């Protein structure tokens, strides 16, 4: 069973640029959630995709957007990058149907640095 994978592992961008981060969910999982983790803080929920539809969003501006594909992989897009967007971006997959655990499986993250 393949776990959650994310790409790239590290990325450096400059202010104002756009970035796309990618996530492949664990086999059989149809829900993907994205989190932002600033240095020294806990992860903060950005949004979640369930069966290709956005299914909940945290307190992030519209320049944070996403997609989920038919194979349940997902992208996080951030436009007009700001210095404060520098963080570890985590993807987590889960499968709400058939389980009451609510356990999420996290990928290793993408470290984004905005200069």
Partner 1 sequence: DAKTTQPPSMDCAEGRAANLPCNHSTISGNEYVYWYRQIHSQGPQYIIHGLKNNETNEMASLIITEDRKSSTLILPHATLRDTAVYYCIVRVPSNFGNEKLTFGTGTRLTIIP
Q: Considering the complex, state which of residue 7 and residue 79 has its C-beta at the smaller distance from partner 1.
A: 7
Spatial CA neighbour of 64 closest among 49, 50, 103, 51? 49
Q: By rule CB under 8 A, what string of x and - marks binding of each residue 75-104 to partner 1?
A: ---------------x-x-x-xx-xxxxxx
Tokens for 29, please give them.
């999982």
Q: Considering the complex, state which of residue 20 and residue 44 has its C-beta at the smaller distance from partner 1.
A: 44
Q: Which helix (H) or strand (E) holds 90?
A: strand 87-94
Whether residue 2 contacts residue 104, with contact meaning beta carbons closer than 8 Å, is answered with no
> Taking CB under 8 A as the rule, does residue 31 contact partner 1?
yes
Residue 75 and residue 110: Cα distance in Å, rounded?
A: 12
Contact residue for partner 1 among 78, 109, 112, 114 (CB under 8 A): 109
Q: Considering the complex, state which of residue 80 and residue 95 has its C-beta at the smaller distance from partner 1.
A: 95
DSSP 8: -
Residues of this chain that bind partner 1 (CB under 8 A): 4, 31, 33, 35, 40-45, 48, 50, 55-56, 58, 90, 92, 94, 96-97, 99-109
């Amino acid at each position: 069973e393949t776990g959650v994978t994310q790409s790239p592992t590290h990325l450096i961008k400059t202010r104002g640029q756009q970035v796309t981060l990618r996530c492949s969910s664990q086999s059989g999982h149809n829900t993907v959630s994205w989190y932002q983790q600033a240095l020294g803080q806990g992860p903060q929920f950005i949004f979640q995709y369930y069966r290709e539809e956005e299914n909940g969003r945290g307190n992030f501006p519209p320049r944070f957007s996403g997609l989920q594909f038919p194979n349940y992989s997902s992208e996080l897009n951030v436009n007009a990058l700001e210095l404060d967007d520098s963080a570890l971006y985590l993807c987590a997959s889960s499968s709400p149907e058939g389980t009451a655990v609510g356990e999420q499986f996290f990928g290793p993250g993408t470290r984004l640095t905005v200069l």
